[in-house]
Copies of this chain bind each other. A is one copy, B any other.
Amino acid sequence: MSYLIDGLQYSNWSEEVFRQIRAGGVDAVHVTLVYHENFRETVANIERWNRWFESWPELIFQGFGAEDIAKAHATGRTAIFFGAQNPSCIEDDIGLVEVLHRLGLRFMQLTYNNQSLLATGCYEAHDTGLTRMGREVVAEMNRVGMVVDMSHSGERSTLAAVEHSSRPIAITHANPAAWHPARRNKSDVVIGALAQTGGMLGFSLYPHHLKGGSDCTVEDFCTMIARTAERFGTHFLGIGTDLCLNQPDSVVEWMRTGRWTKTVDYGEGSKDAPGFPAMPGWFHDNRDFGNIARGLRAAGFTAPEVDGIMGGNWARFCAASFGAADRQDKAKRAAE
């Protein structure tokens, strides 16, 4: 049994994209439900997904537990797991963690580039780690079974989350900064902390996270993964493509600026290149995962290692992460 799982996508969803996901044989996807939405707006986004689940039950269904990955595989469909890139969805209310978990939220970033009520984002000048509320919310996420995702967080906050969380955390979409020093890529200290605590790192295909950008070759990408594995092991590695298909400029602007500024923020882009860069030629959409799997084999990984990176490691992590703490706690301790 080998699974194909993507640790992050946020496309402009449509029947066409869902059919691409099925054509690619993807068993499960963590999809972004929230950039800057408050609670009520988040619920409206869930309502949109409910319409899609009702419209295309032969292609997709909502995932709540890791068993839904196996169910998806067995029935030739894709399990969709909700995640938030920003804790805006819980507003100032810790009780919303359990409510949103009940509605299926399985990942939540503590920050999205900026300071939040919980922690510091990777674009801030000063990173003060977890706030008072941040520590409380991490404990509540641990209790109900919601993964702490630090993809867009600052280094100190990320290490504080690893330390404070009683369960392993994830960086669903980023690459090693040692390979390509983008502000969103992660230090070896952070990657080592993930490896040692049963966490997960999903390698990103967003061109700003790639050495050479859109021109990065699959050989370069897979060699980077091999170097990471040599140093830290393969057990905690997965893919988080950060795939964004067909989004209009208005949504890209919402992702970058939400309601927090009246000026233009280019995020990882720039004034000269404000749009989304072209994806590398070997990964256009969900039908291209085979290119990565073949590249990993060519880079020297064994077949079981490739299966782990392409989905097996995410499946194991989800099984340890999505249940309530009284049933599935101490996964982190077991991994230490």
Chain A residues within 8 Å of B, Cβ to Cβ: 39-40, 43-44, 46-47, 50-51, 93, 95-96, 98-99, 102-104
Which chain B residues border A95 with CB–CB below 8 Å?
Answer: 44, 47, 50-51
Give Cα A98–Cα B51 distance, bound, in whole angstroms.
Answer: 10
Indicate if the CB atoms of A43 and B102 lie closer than 8 Å. Answer: no
Beta-carbon contact of B47 and A93 below 8 Å: yes
Other-chain residue from B40, B44, B99 in contact with A47 (beta carbon distance below 8 A):
B99
> Which residues of chain B are near A93, meaning CB under 8 Å?
47
Complex: A51 Cα to B96 Cα, angstroms = 12
CB A112 to nearest CB in B, in angstroms, measures 23
Q: Which A-B residue pairs are the 7 nearest by beta carbons?
A: A47-B95, A50-B98, A102-B103, A43-B99, A46-B99, A40-B40, A47-B99
Count of identical protomers in the assembly: 2
Which B residue's beta carbon lies closest to that of A326?
A: B57
A-B contact pairs, 21 of them (CB 8 A): A39-B40, A39-B43, A40-B40, A43-B96, A43-B99, A44-B95, A46-B99, A47-B93, A47-B95, A47-B96, A47-B98, A47-B99, A50-B95, A50-B98, A50-B99, A51-B95, A99-B103, A102-B102, A102-B103, A102-B104, A103-B103
Residue of B nearest to A93 (CB): B47
- Nearest residue (CB) in B for A44 is B95
Interchain nearest-CB distance for A101 vs B (Å) = 10
What is the bound-complex CA distance between A46 and B39, given in angstroms?
14
User: Please, how many angstroms separate the alpha-carbon atoms of A98 and B96 in the complex?
Assistant: 18
A93 to B45, CA, bound (A): 13
Kindly list 11 other residue pairs between chains A and B, CB separation below 8 angstroms, not including A39-B43, A47-B95. Answer: A43-B96, A47-B93, A47-B96, A47-B98, A50-B95, A50-B99, A51-B95, A99-B103, A102-B103, A102-B104, A103-B103
Of all chain B residues, which has the CB nearest A43?
B99
